[in-house]
């Protein structure tokens, strides 16, 4: 085939594939050329500049912000939702929808999915699509609250609901996140019941969790887990936030507290090893906590709002 004939054929294939939306198989049948030849030809078409593909990033209001977050913190992915206004429920719903789409895309049959608790995660689970067959396993990554917490936000509720959505298997945890005595915590950790949970923690491939902030100390969820008496200690330790009841400073360094030896939760070092460690959080009050989580590499996928993302980028220039 001389050069002119080759160019003519490539132009024809390009027109059929890109303009006429024909599949490679349809082109192969019409032109009498092997499908593998069509595939190689399409690659060559792009290399020679016969077809130039451009992505119109301006169609996504938040794509450039997501790209900055990914590059600045070495993330696998960032999902930034363009929500305006002060409607907290609306923000949680839109974040939940975005995260649910991600979770539906990435959860496979071999995955062990670890979940924490909270309103952000409750929205993620609510927004998951209708049940689909899966052999994925769902497990709590932290114990329950010692005080009162709405049952819809409890980790066991979310784990069970997520497993139902995927028709997978769920394991529940029947102990508080914070025990009164270290000795009680040690007895539970050494029990056969707990060994089943801790074995699953070692196998978690996808972790989904909220990020707590010390600035939210007056909230009902804060009081359900910690109460006000812990606040002064956390403030002295320059703590900005927590994941699964483990506290860290603005640089992501873990900080030992009076509850460190009394808590029951997956170690944050596990989050460095998961395929996906998905942090779902928003609000200006949580910006420093999210920064600490990002710097500590506890998060490799962040789901947040545009407002929060912009604050994070401004504070980490």
Q: Same domain for 252 and 287?
A: yes
Mean pLDDT of 38-49: 88
Instruction: Kindly tell me if the per-residue pLDDT of 257 is higher than 60.
Output: yes
- 44 found inside a domain: yes
Give the tens place of pLDDT for each residue, 157-215: 999 999 999 999 999 998 888 888 999 999 999 998 899 999 999 999 999 999 999 88
Q: Same domain for 32 and 100?
A: no
φ/ψ (deg, to 5) at 172: -110, 160
Instruction: Kindly tell me if the per-residue pLDDT of 151 is higher than 80.
Output: no
The first and second tokens of residue 124, run together, are 């993620």
Range of the domain at 44: 3-48
Percent of the chain with pLDDT over 70: 89
- 164 found inside a domain: yes
- 56 found inside a domain: no
Q: Same domain for 183 and 263?
A: yes
Q: Same domain for 243 and 98?
A: yes
Sheet holding 169-170, edge to edge: 77-81, 301-305, 276-280, 206-210, 112-115, 137-140, 169-170
Domain final residue pick, 27, 48, 69: 48
Q: Same domain for 26 and 71?
A: no
Which pLDDT does position 301 carry in this prediction? 97
CB 79 within 8 A of CB 303: yes
| Residue for token pair 């050494």 | 190
Q: Same domain for 116 and 228?
A: yes
- 53 found inside a domain: no
Which pLDDT does position 197 carry in this prediction? 93
- 55 found inside a domain: no
Threshold 0.85, pTM exceeds? no
- 291 found inside a domain: yes
Give me the number of domains the chain comprises: 2
Identify the CATH number of the domain in which residue 91 sits: 3.40.50.1360
Q: Which residues contact 194 (CB under 8 A, 6 or more apart)?
A: 175, 188, 264
Which pLDDT does position 223 carry in this prediction? 62
- 123 found inside a domain: yes
Give the tens place of pLDDT for each residue, 62-83: 889 999 999 999 999 999 998 7
Query: Whole-angstrom Cα distance, residue 288 to residue 154?
Result: 25
CB 211 within 8 A of CB 289: yes
CA neighbor of 307 nearest in space, from 91, 99, 68: 91
Average pLDDT, the chain: 88
Instruction: Kindly tell me if the per-residue pLDDT of 2 is higher than 60.
Output: no
Q: Same domain for 30 and 114?
A: no
Q: Same domain for 44 and 146?
A: no
Identify the CATH number of the domain in which residue 14 sits: 1.10.10.60
CB 273 within 8 A of CB 49: no
Q: Same domain for 31 and 170?
A: no
Q: Same domain for 44 and 66?
A: no
Q: Same domain for 103 and 243?
A: yes
- 167 found inside a domain: yes
CB 287 within 8 A of CB 69: no
Q: Same domain for 102 and 13?
A: no
Query: Whole-angstrom Cα distance, residue 225 to residue 146?
Result: 6
Query: Whole-angstrom Cα distance, residue 265 to residue 245?
Result: 7
């Amino acid at each position: 085939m001389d050069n002119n004939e080759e160019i003519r054929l490539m132009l024809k294939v390009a027109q059929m594939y890109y303009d006429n939306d024909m599949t490679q198989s349809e082109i192969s049948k019409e032109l009498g050329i092997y499908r593998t030849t069509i595939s190689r030809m399409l690659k060559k078409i792009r290399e020679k500049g016969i077809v130039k593909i451009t992505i119109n990033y301006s169609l996504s209001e938040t794509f450039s912000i997501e790209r900055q977050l990914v590059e600045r913190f070495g993330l696998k992915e960032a999902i930034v939702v363009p929500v305006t206004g002060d409607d907290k429920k609306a923000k949680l719903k839109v974040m939940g929808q975005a995260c649910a789409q991600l979770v539906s895309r990435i959860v496979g049959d071999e995955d062990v999915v670890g979940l924490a608790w909270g309103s952000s995660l409750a929205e993620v689970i609510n927004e998951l699509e209708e049940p689909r067959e899966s052999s994925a396993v769902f497990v709590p990554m932290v114990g329950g609250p010692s005080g009162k917490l709405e049952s819809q936000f409890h980790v066991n509720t979310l784990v069970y609901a997520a497993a139902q959505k995927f028709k997978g298997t769920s394991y529940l945890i029947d102990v508080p996140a914070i025990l009164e005595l270290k000795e009680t915590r040690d007895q539970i950790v050494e029990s056969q019941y707990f060994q089943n949970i801790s074995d699953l923690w070692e196998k978690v491939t996808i972790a989904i969790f909220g990020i707590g902030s010390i600035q939210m100390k007056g909230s009902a969820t804060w009081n359900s887990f910690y109460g006000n008496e812990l606040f002064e200690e956390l403030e002295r330790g320059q703590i900005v936030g927590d994941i699964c009841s483990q506290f860290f400073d603005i640089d992501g360094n873990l900080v030992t507290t009076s509850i460190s030896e009394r808590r029951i939760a997956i170690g944050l070092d596990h989050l460095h090893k998961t395929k996906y460690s998905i942090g779902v959080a928003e609000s200006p009050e949580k910006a420093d906590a999210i920064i600490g989580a990002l710097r500590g590499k506890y998060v490799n996928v962040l789901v947040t709002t545009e407002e929060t993302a912009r604050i994070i980028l401004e504070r980490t220039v």
